[in-house]
Amino acid sequence: MTTEIIESFSELGLSENTLKGLTEMGFTKPSPIQAQGIPAVMGGSDVIGQAQTGTGKTAAFGIPVLERIDISNNAVQALVLCPTRELAVQVSEELGRLAKFHRGVRIEAIYGGDSIERQIRSLKKGVHIVVGTPGRVMDHMERRTLKFDEVRMMVLDEADEMLDMGFREDIESILADMPEDRQTILFSATMSKPIMSITKRFLNDPVLIKVVRNELTNQNIEQVCYEVKPQAKLEVMTRLIDMYHLKSLLVFCNTKRKVDEIVEELQLRGYASEGIHGDLRQQQRSNVMSKFKAGVTTILVATDVAARGIDVSGLDGVINFDIPLDEEYYVHRIGRTGRAGMSGKAFSLVARDEKFRLRQIENYTKVKIEKGVIPSYEDIVGVRKARFVESITATIEAGETDLYQDVLEMLQHSGYAIEQIVGAMAKQIMGVQKNEYADSNMSWEEKRGDRGDRRESSDRFDRRRGGSRFDRSEGRGDRFERRSEGGRSGDSRKGGAPEAGMTRLFLSLGRKDHILPKDIVGAIAGESNIPGKTIGAIDIYDKFTFVDVPERDAKAVMRAMDGNTIKGKPVQIDIAKV
C-alpha cells in the first residue's frame, strides 16, 4: 500500500462533520491501520485489514462507513458483525461518537441476551447501521425483522475471534444473503487459514493491509523471561506478582483448559482472579470484564483470541504463562501493556521445551528478551513485610483508630509478648503463602533425578545468581539416600525406569517436609481410592519424592493429589521425567 506518511485526518478527504467528531474525540493523528485502511475502504474495494488489538481498527472501517450512509434512505446500509455483545456495544458506541455531527444517522447494536422485542421495535423505526453478533443477526434474518437488500457495506470485525467462537457457519450464511454488489471489509488481528478461506469465497479481489510489529520497539515494555519447570510456573508467577506488586494483570495461556486451571489455582492462593475464553457465555464474559475493569478482579487469565478486542487500559503487566505458538501472538499479548507512554512489564515463563519458541520470537521481534532471576521466598516475604509496614503506617496516619486501641491490652492478657502478637497479626494479614517450592527446584536448569548433572548445574545456578539465596545443601549426595518400607525398596531400580505397567510420579514434598513413605501411601490411597498395596516404589529425597503407581491409576492419582496436602503440606504432583 501507500508508503507516504499521513500526519492528519484532514489529508484523507473526509467530510467536515467527521473531522469535527474526530477532534472532539481527541484523535489528532490517524493510526497506521487508519492511514492505510480509510482510503482503501473509501475507494470502494473489498479490504482485508490486519493490525493488532488497540490500533484503532474500529475507526478504520467506521469512518468510511459513516461517510457512505445516505440519511434520506431509511434502509439498513451497513452491517458490522462482531464476536461478542461487549464488542458490539463498544463498536456501536465508537460509531456513535464518530457520528456525533452526522445528524440523523441511526446506529443499533443487536446482540443476544437483550430483549428481541425491543430490538424489533427500534429496527422498525429505521436503522442505517446495524452492529450485531452473528447469532442474533441470523435470528432477525429468519424472523424477517432485518432486511439487507440495501446493504452496501458489510464489515467482519475481529474475524479471528468470531471464528474461534464457532460463528463460521452463521457468518457464511449471512454473507451469502447479502446483496452481490456490496463492499466487504474484514478486520482481524491475525490471519488464520479459515479466515483466508472466507476471504477467498466472499471477498472480491481484496486490498490487503497489514500493520504488525511496528509498535513493539518504541513501546515502553520491559521484557523478561524466566526458565521455569512447568509444575513450578504457578509458584513463580505468584512470586512475580507479589514482587512487582502487579495489581492489574493479564495472564495468557494457550488453551481454554489451562485458563480454568490457572484461575482455580490463583483463587486458592487468595488472588482475585478470573478467566475469559471462547466457551464462556455472553453474560459471563460481561461479568468477568466489568469486574476486571472495576478493579475487583486484579488478574485476568485469557486465551489469545478471547483477549482480542477487549479494550482494557492501564495494565501493570502481562504474563505469558505459556509461550505462544505463534510469534505474532507474542506481539499482541505484550502490546496490551505499556500503552500510552506508561511503562509495562511482560514476563514470560519458559519451560525447557518452550525455549526454542522464545528464540523464534526473539528473531521475529528483533528484541533480546532478558533472562530474569526468580525472586526467592525471602525476597517475597521481605517485600510483603515492607508493604505491610507501609499500610499500617498509612492507617495510623489516617486516624480514627482510637476505638481499637485497647486491642493490644486485650491480647497482652493472653500472656504473649508484643513481638509475638504483632508477628501473628502480620502473618494473618499479609497472608504470606506457604513456600511450596524450594527456591532451587523451580528452574529447569537443574535436572531432577540426574545426580551428576544436578549437582554441577546446581552450582552453576548458584554462581550466576550470586549464590547466597540458594540452599546449597541441595547439591549434596546424601539426599539420594533412600528410605524404604516393606517391599518397596530395591536398589535395582535406583534411578532406573519404573517397572512395567507402573508410572513414576514426582511429588514436590520430601524429607525436609518430614514426609514418610506411610504418609504418602496413606494420602494417595485415601484420596484417590486405589489400594495402598498397588503403590510401588517410593524414593524420598530432600525436597521431592518419586512414587510409582499403576499406569492405569496415574491420572486419577494426579487429579486427586495435585494441589492437595500431605501432612498439611500442599503438594504438586506430576509425571516424573525419567
Q: Which is nearer to ligand ADP, 57 or 85 (CB)?
A: 57
Contact in structure between 267 and 234 (CB atoms under 8 Å): no
Q: 55 is in the binding site of which of ligand ADP, Mg ion, none (Cβ under 5 to 8 A by kind)?
A: ligand ADP
Helix axes 85-98, 57-67, angle to 10 degrees: 50
Q: Which is nearer to Mg ion, 309 or 510 (CB)?
A: 309
Rounded to the nearest whole angstrom, what is the least distance from the CB of residue 311 to Mg ion in the complex?
8
Q: Contact with ligand ADP (CB under 6 A): which of 32, 37, 49, 56?
A: 56
Q: Which of 380, 377, 378, 381 is nearest to 436 (CA)?
A: 377
Q: Which of 304, 311, 336, 363 is nearest to 221 (CA)?
A: 336
Please count the residues of this chain forming the interface with ligand ADP, following the rule CB under 6 A: 16
Q: Which helix (H) or strand (E) holds 170?
A: helix 168-176
Rounded to the nearest whole angstrom, what is the least distance from the CB of residue 52 to ligand ADP in the complex?
7
Cβ neighbors of 570 (< 8 A, separation 6 or more) are 434, 436, 563, 564
Rounded to the nearest whole angstrom, what is the least distance from the CB of residue 101 to Mg ion in the complex?
23
Instruction: Using DSSP, state whether 49 is helix, strand or coil.
Output: strand
Rounded to the nearest whole angstrom, what is the least distance from the CB of residue 267 to ligand ADP in the complex?
29
Is 246 a binder of ligand ADP (CB under 6 A)?
A: no
Rounded to the nearest whole angstrom, what is the least distance from the CB of residue 545 to Mg ion in the complex?
50
Cβ neighbors of 473 (< 8 A, separation 6 or more) are 479, 542
| C-alpha to C-alpha distance for 374 and 239, rounded to whole angstroms | 8
Rounded to the nearest whole angstrom, what is the least distance from the CB of residue 53 to ligand ADP in the complex?
4
Sort strands 153-156 and 183-188 into parallel, antiparallel or unpaired: parallel
Is 57 a binder of ligand ADP (CB under 6 A)?
A: yes
Stretch in the footprint of ligand ADP (CB under 6 A) among 47-55, 122-130, 167-175, 421-429: 47-55
Q: Contact with ligand ADP (CB under 6 A): which of 37, 39, 49, 54?
A: 54
Q: Which of residues 71-100 bind ligand ADP (CB under 6 A)?
A: 94
Q: Which is nearer to Mg ion, 310 or 554 (CB)?
A: 310
Contact in structure between 431 and 534 (CB atoms under 8 Å): no
Q: Contact with Mg ion (CB under 5 A): which of 309, 335, 338, 570?
A: 309
* x-or-dash string of contact with ligand ADP, 2-31, rule CB under 6 A: -------------------------x-xxx
Contact in structure between 439 and 377 (CB atoms under 8 Å): yes
Q: Which is nearer to ligand ADP, 94 or 304 (CB)?
A: 94
Q: Which is nearer to ligand ADP, 209 or 234 (CB)?
A: 209
Stretch in the footprint of Mg ion (CB under 5 A) among 15-23, 57-65, 338-346, 376-384: 57-65
Q: Which is nearer to ligand ADP, 34 or 92 (CB)?
A: 34
Q: Which of residues 306-325 bind ligand ADP (CB under 6 A)?
A: 309, 311
Rounded to the nearest whole angstrom, what is the least distance from the CB of residue 34 to ligand ADP in the complex?
6
Helix axes 551-561, 517-528, angle to 10 degrees: 90
Q: Contact with Mg ion (CB under 5 A): which of 12, 14, 49, 57?
A: 57
Is 62 a binder of Mg ion (CB under 5 A)?
A: no
Strand order in the sheet with 538-540: 538-540, 545-550, 502-507, 573-575
| C-alpha to C-alpha distance for 213 and 363, rounded to whole angstroms | 12
| C-alpha to C-alpha distance for 171 and 81, rounded to whole angstroms | 8
Stretch in the footprint of Mg ion (CB under 5 A) among 23-31, 70-78, 304-312, 461-469: 304-312
Q: Contact with ligand ADP (CB under 6 A): which of 18, 50, 53, 337?
A: 53
Greatest extent of the chain over all pairs of C-alpha atoms, in Å: 90
Is 289 a binder of ligand ADP (CB under 6 A)?
A: no
Cβ neighbors of 250 (< 8 A, separation 6 or more) are 299, 300, 301, 302, 307, 312, 315, 317, 318, 319, 333, 336, 337
DSSP string, 322-365: S--SSHHHHHHHHTTSS-TT--EEEEEEE-GGGHHHHHHHHHHH
Q: Which is nearer to Mg ion, 309 or 536 (CB)?
A: 309
Q: 545 is in the binding site of which of Mg ion, ligand ADP, none (Cβ under 5 to 8 A by kind)?
A: none
Is 55 a binder of ligand ADP (CB under 6 A)?
A: yes
Contact in structure between 545 and 572 (CB atoms under 8 Å): no
Q: Which is nearer to ligand ADP, 37 or 449 (CB)?
A: 37
Rounded to the nearest whole angstrom, what is the least distance from the CB of residue 112 to ligand ADP in the complex?
21
Instruction: Using DSSP, state whether 510 is helix, strand or coil.
Output: coil
Contact in structure between 131 and 110 (CB atoms under 8 Å): yes
Is 54 a binder of Mg ion (CB under 5 A)?
A: no
* Residue 391 in grid coordinates: 499500610
Q: List contacts with Mg ion (CB under 5 A).
A: 57, 309
Residues near ligand ADP (CB under 6 A): 27, 29-31, 34, 51, 53-59, 94, 309, 311
